[in-house]
């Protein structure tokens, strides 16, 4: 069965050297398949034991964490490679406000100010090839139309934000933008709306040069 990959067209914020507006495309996701939905999907289309599959996923997760902690990359054939990312911890100024690390002397970098910042994923070429195979592409809005296709209601935005914050302490505008596939302007507009409601459930805090957003009462 052929699959159609949906995309949206967005204008780049800065013009080119000749003053012209240039455009880019971004994938338009249609929701997120979580573990529960994945197991239900497997159950419908395969004869696998979902309990065993769930246990296998838990073991895989634990193994990825263990091997990354052992300073190894973790490669799954046909899928891709996971690798640990580290960086400098944020420092605090005289007022206790977190600020982005700024080090001019490498001798001042010690184990105390280095931390795990994330995990990178590099897909296998074979995975990319399979994604390209038997697919076509289509603008979610129609040919030549700029912008995203879905107009979100407040409840949709709040549900997506709460689902993310259930597993994370905070969210940034960039992550929120990617989560709902918004332009940077639209993402900031939604966040400003949510934190400035009459009885807001979310708060904004500046950490270094970044504004982070979290639910009230969640640290």
The whole-angstrom separation of Cα 82 and Cα 62 is: 13
More confident residue, 13 or 151: 13
How much is the mean pLDDT over the chain? Answer: 87
More confident residue, 67 or 209: 67
Assess if residue 147 is contained within a domain.
Answer: no
* CATH number of the domain enclosing 116: 4.10.520.10
Q: In the listed set 81, 110, 139, which residue is the last one of a domain according to the structure?
A: 139
Q: Within this chain, do residues 132 and 170 fall inside the same structural domain, yes or no?
A: no
The predicted pLDDT at position 106 comes to: 92
More confident residue, 41 or 47: 41
Among 17-31, 61-75, 84-98, 151-165, which is the least confidently predicted range?
84-98
Tell me the backbone φ, ψ of residue 52, rounded to 5 degrees.
-65, -40
The predicted pLDDT at position 149 comes to: 45
The whole-angstrom separation of Cα 98 and Cα 89 is: 10
Q: Within this chain, do residues 66 and 135 fall inside the same structural domain, yes or no?
A: yes
* CATH number of the domain enclosing 209: 1.10.10.10
Q: With H, G, I as helix, E, B as strand and everything else as coil, classify residue 171.
A: strand
The predicted pLDDT at position 133 comes to: 93
Q: In the listed set 116, 139, 162, which residue is the last one of a domain according to the structure?
A: 139
The whole-angstrom separation of Cα 176 and Cα 186 is: 10
The whole-angstrom separation of Cα 177 and Cα 191 is: 10
Q: Residue 116: in which H helix or E strand, if any?
A: strand 114-123
Structural domain that includes position 126: 3-14+21-139
- What are the respective helix, strand and coil percentages of the chain, to the nearest 5? 35, 30, 35
More confident residue, 142 or 211: 211
Q: Within this chain, do residues 44 and 127 fall inside the same structural domain, yes or no?
A: yes
The whole-angstrom separation of Cα 72 and Cα 85 is: 12
Q: Specify the DSSP class assigned to residue 89.
A: P
Q: Is the model's pLDDT at 209 over the cut of 80?
A: no
Give the N- to C-terminal CA distance of the chain in Å, as an integer. Answer: 46
Q: Which residues contact 40 (CB under 8 A, 6 or more apart)?
A: 50
Q: Within this chain, do residues 134 and 162 fall inside the same structural domain, yes or no?
A: no
How many independent structural domains does the chain possess? 2
User: For 119-146, what is the mean pLDDT?
Assistant: 89
Q: What is the pLDDT of residues 79-128, one digit of tens each?
A: 999 999 999 887 766 666 667 788 889 998 999 989 998 999 999 999 99
Q: Within this chain, do residues 85 and 133 fall inside the same structural domain, yes or no?
A: yes
The predicted pLDDT at position 29 comes to: 79
Q: Within this chain, do residues 102 and 174 fall inside the same structural domain, yes or no?
A: no
């Amino acid at each position: 069965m052929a699959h159609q990959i949906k995309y949206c067209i967005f204008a780049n914020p800065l013009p080119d050297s000749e003053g012209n507006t240039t455009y880019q495309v971004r994938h338009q996701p249609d929701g997120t398949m979580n573990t529960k939905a994945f197991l239900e999907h497997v159950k419908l289309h395969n004869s696998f034991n979902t309990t065993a599959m769930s246990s296998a996923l838990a073991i895989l997760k634990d193994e990825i964490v263990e091997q990354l902690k052992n300073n190894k990359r973790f490669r799954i054939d046909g899928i891709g490679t996971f690798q640990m990312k580290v960086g400098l911890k944020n420092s605090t100024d005289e007022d206790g406000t977190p600020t982005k690390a700024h080090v001019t002397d490498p001798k001042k970098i010690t184990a105390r100010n280095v931390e795990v910042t994330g995990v990178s994923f590099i897909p296998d070429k074979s995975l990319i090839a399979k994604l390209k195979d038997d697919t076509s592409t289509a603008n979610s809005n129609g040919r030549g139309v700029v912008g995203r296709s879905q107009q979100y209601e407040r409840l949709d935005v709040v549900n997506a934000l709460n689902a993310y914050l259930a597993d994370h302490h905070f969210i940034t505008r960039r992550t929120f933008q990617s989560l709902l596939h918004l332009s940077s302007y639209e993402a900031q507009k939604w966040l400003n709306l949510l934190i400035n409601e009459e009885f807001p459930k979310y708060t904004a805090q500046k950490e270094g040069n970044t504004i982070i957003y979290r639910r009230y009462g969640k640290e």
